[in-house]
Amino acid sequence: MNPLERYVPLVDDEEAFLAACDRSLPSVVRVNTIKATPDRVRRALREEDVTFDPVDWHEGLLRLPDGSPGTNWPYVHGWIHGQEEVSTLPALALEAEPGDRVLDACAAPGSKTTQIAADMDDRGTVVANDNNLGRLSALRHNAERLGTTSVAVSNQDARNLSLSPFPFEAFDHALVDVPCSCEGTCRKNPDVLDEWTFEHVEAIAGVQKGIAARAVQATRPGGTVVYSTCTFAPEENEAVLQHVLETEPCELVEFDLPIRTEPGITEWEGERFDDAMEKAHRVYPHHNDTGGFFCAKLRVTDGEREANENSKRRSEEVTAT
């Protein structure tokens, strides 16, 4: 069975959804504002006779329908970086500012890391962590090509991330773009559907829960954690968030994205999720001609203070009775 058929009950148009997933994905580049402006990049591409189409919802994204992103000099010089449209959404949701301390828990090969650094005007600290040392070499290469100086590379298992190497006690924000079953990338990598198994979904969901929980623990109260995947599977999306909400001091918050999305779901195959899941965003390929994606935003709360307040309230209720 095509695993995409699992998600037909979640979409508004089965035929359009399946047809979009079967089409190839356009090449897209993101303008690296550390080195260039969108206008300067467009002029450079025109001078090199590189065809491009602006992405209407983001001035820093360009589609290159007739070529590979890496075959022109603006790419080589770090003015642009190949990155899917939906891949830019987590950093937009994170809203990091200059001077912030940000964790990118599963960072390699660095597209989102370098986007966050650019959003911060390359001022602050972005800890780019990944447990795969080989993939970190690609991240280092991309960070150097794009001219980022605020990125610090870390090679740890994000489920057990230690803050001891860093000169601070907590992050202001964390991005948790976890390893997943990657169904949403089928437009550029159709093999993911042939290789898909439910056993893998179940196994990777356990890893995702550990990474997301640790990211909340490593973020200061009032800080934010953005959780994202490129899969449609509720087991890897809403179910993971449900676990984090039940085990860590955090809450889902509303946020806007500049493309059409659908809300997260509150029920799947007999399992109920918190109503707050509707604050998450599901991205389906047929709505925006993109890959598939999931994105949610958590605010870290003061767990100790809330526990004390709950204890005080319970005591007052006992006294009143």
Do residues 236 and 257 lie in contact, with contact meaning Cβ atoms separated by under 8 Å? no
Q: Which pTM value belongs to this model? A: 0.93
Active site residue 182: no
Beta bridge partners of 82: 29
Secondary-structure percent of the chain, ordered helix, strand, coil, rounded to 5: 40, 20, 40
Tell me, yes or no, whether 44 lies in a domain: no
User: Which stretches of the chain are assigned E, i.e. beta strand?
Assistant: 28-31, 53-54, 61-63, 80-82, 101-104, 125-129, 151-154, 171-177, 219-229, 250-252, 262-263, 267-268, 271-272, 281-283, 293-300
**CATH for 235:** 3.40.50.150
Tell me, yes or no, whether 143 lies in a domain: yes
Tell me, yes or no, whether 78 lies in a domain: no
Helices and strands in the chain: count of H runs, count of E runs: 11, 15
Q: Which domain holds residue 249?
A: 85-317
- pLDDT 10s digit of each residue in the chain, 321 long? 799 999 999 999 999 999 999 999 989 999 999 999 999 999 999 999 999 999 999 999 999 987 778 889 999 999 999 999 999 999 999 999 999 999 999 999 999 999 999 999 999 999 999 999 999 999 999 999 999 999 999 999 999 999 999 999 999 999 999 999 999 999 999 999 999 999 999 999 999 999 999 999 999 999 999 999 999 999 999 999 999 999 999 999 999 999 999 999 999 999 999 999 999 999 999 999 999 999 999 999 986 545 444 444 444 544 554
Tell me, yes or no, whether 49 lies in a domain: no
How many domains does one find in the chain?
A: 1
Catalytic member of 106, 180, 186, 230? 230
Beta bridge partners of 263: 281
Tell me, yes or no, whether 52 lies in a domain: no
Tell me, yes or no, whether 63 lies in a domain: no
Tell me, yes or no, whether 43 lies in a domain: no
Tell me, yes or no, whether 243 lies in a domain: yes
